[in-house]
Amino acid sequence: MNDPHRSQYAVWAGSAGNRSPGPGGWASVVIHGSTGLEHAIVSGGDDLSTDHAMELTAVFMGLTRVPRDVTATVFTDSKFVLDLVGILSEGWNPGGGEHEELWSRLVEECGKRFVSWQEVAAGDDVPHQARASMLAQAEAAGIA
């Protein structure tokens, strides 16, 4: 029998922006860990956004595709997101500054599942991360 608490998902989040503020894109590739199969791919963009908003949106939208009460690992190359999450894990919610609404939605979404975080170095040859970044760049280019 499947135990949902043992299910594993990987969320690979990517973002892109040419100017900040300006056109930007975000994307997430969600993988079901036990099968290695794609669970969901989501992407989008905004014609007037910031790099940080796109980074937060990529993570948020990826997590919304992960079932509740399961374990998910978020892979991101965003130092901004990882720094905020690190502060949150220490018991202090710094808020998202100019991105308060996005940050609040992300914190709420994280509370619905067991989330861990993994940094991916920019330029690492990781196929799912590369795909998320490519989709985000395509979204940004389609807006610009």
- For residue 33, the 8-state DSSP code is T
- Where on the phi/psi map is residue 45: left (φ > 0), alpha (ψ -120 to 50), or beta? beta
Q: What is the pLDDT of residue 132?
A: 95
Q: What is the rounded distance in angstroms from the CA atom of residue 103 to the CA atom of residue 106?
A: 5
Q: What is the pLDDT of residue 104?
A: 86
Q: What is the pLDDT of residue 27?
A: 97
Beta strand 22-32 pairing with 71-76: unpaired
Q: What is the pLDDT of residue 78?
A: 92
pLDDT less than 50: residues of the chain:
1-2, 4-5
3-state DSSP assignment of residue 117: strand
Q: What is the pLDDT of residue 93?
A: 65
Q: What is the pLDDT of residue 63?
A: 97
